[in-house]
Amino acid sequence: MARKVLAALIGNVLGIFSAAQPATQLTQPTTQLVWKQQVEREIRKHDSWVEGYIENDYTNKIEEGHVHLTNLPRKTIDLMAKFGVLGFTGAFNPENDHLLLPDISEKSDEVLDSIDHELWHSIFDSKGKRGLYYDEGFSRPILEEIVAFTKRKVESPEFEKLRDLMKRAEESERVMGFASNISVLIKEYTEQYQLFKKTNEYISENEELKPYISKESQRKIDFTRENVDKQWKPAIDYLLDTNRKLQDLKGRINEEMPLANLVETRKFFTDIYKNLETYEKLGEPIMQYRKTILAEYHSAERKEREEMIKKLQEDLDKLPEGEKLSDEEKEQIQEIIKSLDIDLPVFDAEEINFSLQRMTGGLSRTMRNVTTFSNTYKIDEILGNEDEVMARIVDSLYSLYFGEVTQNKFPLSRADLNFLDRFRMNDVPIFRKGVEKYLVGIELMKQGMSAKEIRGKLEYATSFTFDGREYSWPEANFRIQGTIPEEKIKSEEAQKN
Ligand SMILES: [Zn+2]
């Protein structure tokens, strides 16, 4: 379910960034009262089946009814925002029958707008405690009919444009995902190579220590350096060249690009990515080299000091009788010698550990994370899934949508409305208000009223007179008591323990 992308992202974000610092607060939540009233209005818009089906009493912890509203913890919202996850909508979780409605004033319209969609998911929910669709006393089209109906709907010509658009959006997102993976790899490798260069600079800066390094070690060092150099030279050229091409392509990738070009670009990126993956092995010799050098030069430095101290002692002993030092002077010299003997830290062990860690597995982990965030469109998951198509149909019904086919909303035909009329509880159509309003909407449209005006007139209307007929659309009895509780996020719990 595409709307569940949010829930998946929460899991991802918390899993990946569980050690992250809490972010500075992005937005203030709407006041609880205003938020509750907005949520209530969206739910009251539906027919009376919502009464008792959606829990309204949050003054105790007992879960009554089928659907329980929850909020997203502030900490989670901030954390997600910090990492650029801003696609907040509602999300129904069939595992626990919670309807997650993140209370974010900036995004409240999107969250409220998703309620109609998510309510369908709660009706059609076949997991655990099954939804209204499976209730005794509920008469409705059987699953095969729903599948055939939704299939027919999305195969109509008006969906062609959407398919094309979504395919391109999906592909361009995939390509961008590859592009950012490649950017990360290039950056990592360049940093590793910098470490190699830094090590060589360290050697030239400490030329005077060379005599204290054995010929054997010196040969090994030179050999390793040449080897690393030989392996990295072509890699570095390739990285620079790839980076140039990447920057150039990145500027041109967008959803407007024809699908064939996008696919071609992705293939090109896939090859680069495969090449770059093999470079992961190149990091290890650099780290080994750096470790050896720092250890060798560290001990060379020690040897140099020992020699200096020895020489100083010898010089002192050689002083002629008349120039021998006083006790006080001797003490001062001892102090100087002692200070020379202090081991100065010449390298930072942490730096090495960090770099090694990054290389062993760390890099592949980074890559996986980057890929997880791409591919949010998934055309087949939406148009090939009767549950998602139905959710969009019900959403379009209650949103009185008369526009073009889009990813989340479709215009409805009379045939669609007849189909919706077949969902009945004790022979009362559960979508009565929606269907009647939409039918009136179709007529008003014919008379030349704009879609926006129709929606404004009908969406929350409780009665209406049209064409000599009086419509009665009473609000469902739904009033939230107490405070919508915060959703318990699993990884957060684990973090506390
Ligand atoms: Zn959905």
Q: Which of 192, 182, 188 is nearest to 232 (CA)?
A: 192
- Gap from CA of 98 to ligand 1 centroid (Å): 14
Q: Which of 366, 394, 381 is nearest to 4 (CA)?
A: 381
- Gap from CA of 370 to ligand 1 centroid (Å): 24
pLDDT given for residue 284 in this prediction: 83
- Gap from CA of 398 to ligand 1 centroid (Å): 15
Rounded (5°) CA angle 21-27-30: 130
- Gap from CA of 459 to ligand 1 centroid (Å): 21
Half-sphere exposure of 460 toward its Cβ, with a 13 Å CA cutoff?
8
- Gap from CA of 100 to ligand 1 centroid (Å): 13
Q: Which of 285, 178, 148 is nearest to 223 (CA)?
A: 285
pLDDT given for residue 361 in this prediction: 45
Rounded (5°) CA angle 455-458-464: 155
Strand partners, 463: 472
- Gap from CA of 292 to ligand 1 centroid (Å): 57
- Gap from CA of 356 to ligand 1 centroid (Å): 43
pLDDT given for residue 379 in this prediction: 67
Strands 428-429 vs 424-425: parallel, antiparallel or unpaired: antiparallel
Q: Which of 3, 140, 109, 30 is nearest to 429 (CA)?
A: 140
Which two structure tokens, joined as six digits, stand for 61? 């912890």
Which two structure tokens, joined as six digits, stand for 487? 């959703």
Place of tokens 């770059």: 276
- Gap from CA of 1 to ligand 1 centroid (Å): 5
User: Model confidence over 304-343: pLDDT tens digits?
Assistant: 878 877 877 787 778 777 777 777 877 777 777 666 655 5
- Gap from CA of 110 to ligand 1 centroid (Å): 14
Which two structure tokens, joined as six digits, stand for 215? 């010929």
State the Rg of the chain over Cα.
34
- Gap from CA of 90 to ligand 1 centroid (Å): 10
pLDDT given for residue 256 in this prediction: 79
Q: Is the alpha carbon torsion for 167, 171, 176, 181 positive or negative? A: positive
- Gap from CA of 414 to ligand 1 centroid (Å): 23
Task: Give CA separation, 64 vs 67, 151, 251, 427, in Å.
Answer: 8, 35, 53, 24
Residue 58: CB atoms within 10 A of its CB come to 18
Q: Is 118 exposed, middle or buried (0-12, 13-18, 19+ CB in 10 A)?
A: buried
- Gap from CA of 132 to ligand 1 centroid (Å): 17
Q: What are phi and psi of 179, to 5 degrees?
A: -60, -40
pLDDT given for residue 398 in this prediction: 97
Residues, CB within 5 angstroms of ligand 1 (ion): 1, 3, 388, 391
pLDDT given for residue 355 in this prediction: 52
The answer to whether 476 and 43 are in contact (CB under 8 A) is yes
Rounded (5°) CA angle 38-43-49: 165
Collapsed DSSP state (helix, strand, coil) of residue 82: helix
Question: In the chain, which stretches have pLDDT less than 50?
Answer: 1-26, 344-346, 349-350, 359-376, 491-497
Distance, CA of 414 to CA of 440 (rounded, Å)? 11
The answer to whether 455 and 445 are in contact (CB under 8 A) is no
- Gap from CA of 2 to ligand 1 centroid (Å): 5
Give the dihedral of Cα atoms 356, 362, 367, 369; nearest 10 deg.
Answer: -150
What crossing angle do the helices spanning 115-123 and 386-398 adopt, rounded to 10°? 130
Which two structure tokens, joined as six digits, stand for 183? 């950017």
- Gap from CA of 116 to ligand 1 centroid (Å): 10
What crossing angle do the helices spanning 32-44 and 115-123 adopt, rounded to 10°? 60
The answer to whether 118 and 3 are in contact (CB under 8 A) is yes
Distance, CA of 332 to CA of 327 (rounded, Å)? 9
pLDDT given for residue 99 in this prediction: 94
Q: What are phi and psi of 124, to 5 degrees?
A: -90, 5
Strand partners, 471: 464
- Gap from CA of 64 to ligand 1 centroid (Å): 23
pLDDT given for residue 143 in this prediction: 95
Statement: the pTM of the whole predicted model exceeds 0.75: no
Which two structure tokens, joined as six digits, stand for 258? 């024809």
pLDDT given for residue 181 in this prediction: 81
What percent of the chain shows pLDDT beyond 90?
A: 42
DSSP state of 378: -
pLDDT given for residue 8 in this prediction: 42
- Gap from CA of 185 to ligand 1 centroid (Å): 35
Element (H, E) at 57: strand 57-58
Q: Which of 189, 181, 240 is nearest to 355 (CA)?
A: 189
Distance, CA of 225 to CA of 204 (rounded, Å)? 13
SS3 string of 204-222? HHCHHHHHHCCHHHHHHHH
Q: CB within 8 A of 69, min separation 6: which ones? A: 39, 54, 55, 58, 98, 99, 101, 480, 484
- Gap from CA of 496 to ligand 1 centroid (Å): 31
pLDDT given for residue 208 in this prediction: 87
- Gap from CA of 105 to ligand 1 centroid (Å): 22
Distance, CA of 480 to CA of 231 (rounded, Å)? 67
